[in-house]
Chain A
Amino acid sequence: EPEVTQTPSHQVTQMGQEVILRCVPISNHLYFYWYRQILGQKVEFLVSFYNNEISEKSEIFDDQFSVERPDGSNFTLKIRSTKLEDSAMYFCASNFRNTEAFFGQGTRLTVV
């Protein structure tokens, strides 16, 4: 069964460092998303990406964040200068068109 794959599963970084979280969406999907879940809180939408550009972003997705689809399979989320409050689970999701979204297993980001 096709699935969304995320790497790494856990990333520890020092405050102020840049991190890149990686995702391989389901191969025929066209729309890609990043979500964040701070421990004990809701899953929150960050950004959607289609046709090589951001289609929507939330208030959380400020200038510290960027997304990229560097090739035909990967989808990345970069956080330029991490803060303690960026510690969370980050989920990648994808869907085809007017279909339900499938989520990856997540990357746990710990900023120390």
Chain B
Amino acid sequence: QKEVEQDPGPLSVPEGAIVSLNCTYSNSAFQYFMWYRQYSRKGPELLMYTYSSGNKEDGRFTAQVDKSSKYISLFIRDSQPSDSATYLCATHGGTSYGKLTFGQGTILTVHP
């Protein structure tokens, strides 16, 4: 069983739509959860960083963690063409903050 599973998509939505991106994980030791955005042939850029179960909001982005079901989500409201990228979920167990386990990444296209 893969440690972090993420539907690679691709996902295509019209501008202004609400986007929902999801990951599941199998290892209960994972305690911290991140969402990174990656443009083509660029490095991952940190979007959201959460620890607790529940929601964390930052502008148009909301990260949701449900540790009981080992499910994490990223919602993007009022999506823009500039949001078109690959979105990576990542996690670690809290002992090594930079040793991350990534999901496959979901390719998102927001068309005007």
Contact = CB atoms under 8 A, between A and B. Distances in A.
A104 B46 CA distance: 11
Contacts of A97: 97
A42 B97 contact: no
Interface in B4-52: 34, 36, 41-46, 49
B44 to A, nearest CB: 5
Contact of A43 (B41, B96, B102): B102
Contact of A93 (B42, B98, B105): B98
Contacts, number: 61
Q: Provide the main secondary structure of the chain A interface.
A: strand
Nearest to A97: B97
Interface in B60-103: 88, 90, 96-103
B53 interface: no
Interface in A65-107: 89, 91, 93-95, 97-106
Given A93-B98, A98-B97, A101-B97, A42 B105 contact: yes
Interface of B: 34, 36, 41-46, 49, 88, 90, 96-105
Given A6-B43, A43-B88, A102-B46, 12 more contacts: A33-B98, A43-B102, A45-B100, A48-B99, A91-B43, A95-B98, A98-B97, A100-B46, A100-B49, A101-B100, A103-B36, A103-B44
Interface of A: 4, 6, 31-33, 35, 41-45, 48, 55-56, 89, 91, 93-95, 97-106, 108
